[in-house]
């Protein structure tokens, strides 16, 4: 008996979709279009599938998942149409949605979270990073210092793996601060020596150069406001939110909705006459 696919409401882990027989609206064909831009800035409202899309990209590009490609991408378009960059990169993935927005905790929360992500990255990809460099990066105190040290060290390694940076909800905590009219807190983050701006300025320095450590970036959020303020430190990104080539990669089209409804009619969850 066929097991009916569950709608994964609130789920943003792509690797669980096929494993747990959940319904997935296939957006993998947009990978080809995404690769036309190396450094992507994209804004969409909440609940448009940004986190799920990033999770899908991580499963596709992560060099650690090479042997799981067919498992993760069965029944998807990209399985039979992969790009040359499939499973090519080390993935450093950030999600800023859970950072503290309290005035006396913002900087500490951002610093601790980013440091933990970077240290976890070093551990996860230790087969591609020499032990001396791992220790050097771990000994740095601030995220931008860790990134800069990692960049220098990787570029000295022969035939090093490059990094794909993914940042989800890049402006989540900044938007909360703005909505509460805490202008001073916001400006402290965004001024030249602010920890947030320093972080993005370092990402820029680690990208776009010969033999750079960072090959690609994909950064999502819900508003362009914070993006404008970090632009001087991070002006290599392409703002693709209005790009028609990837517009339907996020959210559901009418065609998607009809296909979903037809599936659940076919498996007997409701009657065809109730579709409209």
**The pLDDT of residue 233:** 46
Domain boundaries, the chain: 28-103+160-248
- Position 258 pLDDT exceeds 50: yes
**E strand intervals along 35-191:** 39-43, 90-95, 163-168
Nearest to 89 by CA among 49, 58, 131: 58
**The pLDDT of residue 141:** 94
User: Kind of pairing, strands 214-221 and 238-239?
Assistant: unpaired
CA 125 from chain center: how many Å?
Answer: 18
Average pLDDT value for residue range 226-235: 60
Task: Bin 149: left if φ > 0, else alpha if -120 < ψ < 50, else beta.
Answer: alpha
**The pLDDT of residue 2:** 67
pTM of the shown model = 0.90
**The pLDDT of residue 227:** 67
Range name among 22-36, 161-175, 231-245 with the lowest pLDDT average:
231-245
Report the CATH fold assignment for 28-103+160-248.
Rossmann fold (3.40.50)
Q: Which of residues 5 and 9 earns the better pLDDT score?
A: 5
Average pLDDT value for residue range 135-159: 94
Mean pLDDT of all residues in the chain?
87
**The pLDDT of residue 232:** 57
- Position 183 pLDDT exceeds 90: no
**The pLDDT of residue 236:** 61
* Sheet containing 163-168, strands listed edge to edge, beginning at the edge strand earlier in sequence: 90-95, 163-168, 214-221, 39-43, 238-239
* Phi then psi dihedrals of residue 216, to 5 deg: -145, 155
Q: Which of residues 164 and 226 earns the better pLDDT score?
A: 164
Average pLDDT value for residue range 198-219: 87
- What would the two tokens of residue 175 be? 């938007």
Q: Which of residues 3 and 257 earns the better pLDDT score?
A: 257
């Amino acid at each position: 008996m066929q097991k009916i696919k569950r709608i994964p409401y609130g789920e943003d882990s792509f690797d669980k979709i096929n494993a747990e027989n959940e319904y997935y609206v296939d957006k993998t064909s947009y990978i080809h279009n995404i690769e036309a831009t190396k450094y992507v800035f994209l804004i969409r409202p909440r609940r448009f599938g940004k986190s799920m899309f990033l999770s899908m990209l991580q499963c596709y590009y992560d060099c650690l998942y090479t042997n799981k490609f067919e498992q993760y991408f069965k029944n998807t378009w990209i399985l039979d149409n992969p790009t040359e960059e499939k499973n090519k990169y080390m993935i450093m993935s950030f999600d800023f949605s859970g950072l503290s927005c309290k005035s006396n905790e913002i900087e500490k929360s951002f610093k601790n979270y980013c440091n933990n992500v970077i240290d976890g990255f070093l551990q996860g990809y230790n087969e591609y990073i020499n032990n001396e460099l791992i220790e050097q990066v771990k000994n740095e105190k601030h995220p931008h210092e860790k990134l800069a040290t990692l960049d220098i060290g990787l570029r000295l390694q022969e035939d090093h793996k490059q990094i794909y940076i993914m940042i989800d909800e890049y402006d989540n905590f900044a938007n909360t601060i703005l909505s509460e009219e805490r202008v001073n807190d916001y400006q402290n983050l965004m001024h030249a020596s602010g920890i947030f701006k320093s972080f993005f300025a370092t990402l820029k320095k680690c990208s776009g150069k010969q033999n750079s450590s960072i090959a690609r970036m994909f950064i999502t959020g819900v508003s362009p406001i914070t993006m404008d303020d970090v632009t001087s430190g991070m002006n290599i990104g392409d703002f693709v939110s209005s790009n028609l080539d990837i517009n339907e990669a996020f959210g559901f089209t009418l065609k998607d909705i009809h296909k979903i409804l037809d599936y659940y009619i076919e498996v007997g969850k409701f009657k065809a006459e109730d579709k409209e």
